[in-house]
């Protein structure tokens, strides 16, 4: 008789602690095809460059890029840190302001309705075109000028996404809160902000890519040789293309690292959201 009672309870599983996480093995298995394709492409590249005897300055082989990378590893890391700092600084500034403005206008429909179309318009402008102006304002050899570019580029997507997240709330959820006779601040804390988190992480992902583009392209317009963008252009001008490529690899690694970091934080912060959670297969 006790077994029947147990049976009832076994139909009601206690949630497993890491139900929302994926085991390391599963994750490896999931990414294995990607990894295989990545190395296959590298191999094909190497073989093609050698077989067709493609000139170094057109397309260096992966092996010579790797060699250049290894030979000046310390310098590569320094370049990555320099430009990464610009991207991160600008990202924090731009996203921070974007979130702040979205929160400030969440309550005032009038302010939001005037600002949002402007932001959407501004977002469709190629802001990177302003890079020379920023270099002029904040100093061309200065990290601040690149951060300013990144901040401007990341501000608009963040503000637009965040505003959507704060306002596209289930109307019934708002009625429920109204039935509890709560103030606007409680609605913001309990409904609007949690609702906006998936939108915010979405914007973080978009902005992480934009931040690196902004920083590197900003450097193309000038700066010191500590900067990735400057290094890439100068080495290319000197026909040392394998060095340019090595620096491009650093830029790629920075971008991927940035993105992966955001995804990891997202998993921790919003495990309940459909983009993150894992249901049993």
Partner 1 sequence: MSVVSISSVNKIFGKPGENQTIALKDIDLQIEQGEFISLIGPSGCGKSTLLRIIGDLISPTNGTVLVNGKPAPQARENREYGIVFQAPVLFDWRSVEKNVQLPLEIMGKSPHERTARANEMLELVELNGFQKHYPYQLSGGMQQRVSIARALSFNPPLLLMDEPFGALDEITRERLNAELLDIWSRTKTTIVFVTHSIPEAVFLSTRVVVMSARPGRITQIIPIDLPQPRSGETRESPRYYELITQVREGLRGGEGMKE
| Residue for token pair 């990414």 | 31
Stretch that binds partner 1, among 74-82, 114-122, 187-195, 247-255 (CB under 8 A): 187-195
Give 187 or 210: the residue with its C-beta nearer to partner 1: 187
Please list every residue from 48 through 107 that binds partner 1, using CB under 8 A: none
| Candidate list 126, 172, 185, 237; residue touching partner 1; CB under 8 A | 172
The sign of the CA dihedral 210, 213, 218, 219 is positive
CA distances from 199 to 30, 154, 168, 208 (A): 25, 14, 10, 14
- Both tokens of 51, joined, read 């077989």
Residue 194 contacts partner 1 per CB under 8 A: yes
User: How far is Cα of residue 130 from the mean position of the Cα atoms in its chain?
Assistant: 21
Cα–Cα distance between 70 and 257 in angstroms, integer?
19
Residue 38 in the binding site for partner 1 (CB under 8 A): no
Smallest distance, partner 1 to C-beta of residue 276, A: 11
Number of residues that bind partner 1 (CB under 8 A): 26
Comparing CB distances to partner 1, the nearer of 175 and 237 is 175
Is 188 a binder of partner 1 (CB under 8 A)?
A: no
Cα 203 to Cα 59, 69, 165, 223, 266, distances in angstroms: 34, 32, 10, 28, 12
Query: Binding string, 6-25, against partner 1, x = CB under 8 A?
Result: ---x--x-xx---x------
Displacement of CA 42 from its chain's centroid (Å): 25
What angle, 0 to 180 degrees and rounded to 10, lies between the N-to-C axes of helices 24-51 and 62-71?
110
CB of 92 to partner 1, least distance (A): 24
- CA distance linking residue 191 with residue 183, whole number of Å: 12
When binding is defined by CB under 8 A, the residue of 24, 25, 179, 237 that contacts partner 1 is 179
Q: Does the footprint of partner 1 cover residue 222 (CB under 8 A)?
A: no
Residue 178 engages partner 1 in binding (rule: CB under 8 A): yes
Residues that bind partner 1 (CB under 8 A): 9, 12, 14-15, 19, 170, 172-173, 175-176, 178-182, 186, 190-191, 194, 197, 270, 272-274, 277, 279
């Amino acid at each position: 008789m006790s077994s029947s009672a147990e049976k009832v309870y076994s139909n009601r599983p206690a949630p497993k602690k890491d139900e929302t996480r994926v085991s390391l093995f599963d994750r490896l298995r999931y990414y294995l095809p990607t990894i295989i394709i990545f190395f296959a492409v590298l191999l094909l590249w190497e073989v093609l460059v050698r077989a067709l005897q493609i000139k170094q300055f057109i397309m260096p082989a992966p092996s010579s890029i790797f060699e250049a990378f290894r030979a000046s590893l310390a310098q590569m890391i320094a370049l990555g840190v320099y430009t990464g700092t610009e991207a991160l600084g600008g990202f924090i500034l731009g996203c921070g302001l974007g979130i702040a403005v979205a929160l400030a206008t969440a309550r005032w429909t009038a302010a939001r309705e005037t600002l949002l179309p402007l932001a959407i318009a501004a977002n469709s402008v190629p802001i990177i075109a302003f890079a020379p102006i920023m270099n002029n304002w904040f100093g061309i050899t200065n990290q601040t000028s690149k951060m300013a570019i990144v901040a401007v580029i990341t501000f608009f997507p963040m503000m637009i996404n965040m505003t959507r997240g704060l306002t596209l709330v289930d109307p019934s959820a708002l009625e429920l809160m109204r039935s509890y006779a709560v103030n606007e601040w409680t609605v913001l804390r309990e409904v609007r902000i949690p609702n906006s988190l998936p939108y915010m992480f979405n914007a973080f992902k978009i902005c992480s890519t934009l931040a690196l583009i902004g920083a590197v392209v900003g450097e193309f317009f000038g700066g010191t040789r500590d900067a990735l963008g400057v290094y890439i252009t100068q080495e290319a001008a000197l026909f040392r293309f394998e060095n340019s490529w090595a620096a491009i690899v650093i830029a790629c690694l920075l971008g991927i690292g940035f993105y992966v970091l955001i995804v990891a934080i997202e998993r921790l912060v919003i495990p309940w959201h459909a983009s993150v959670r894992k249901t049993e297969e």
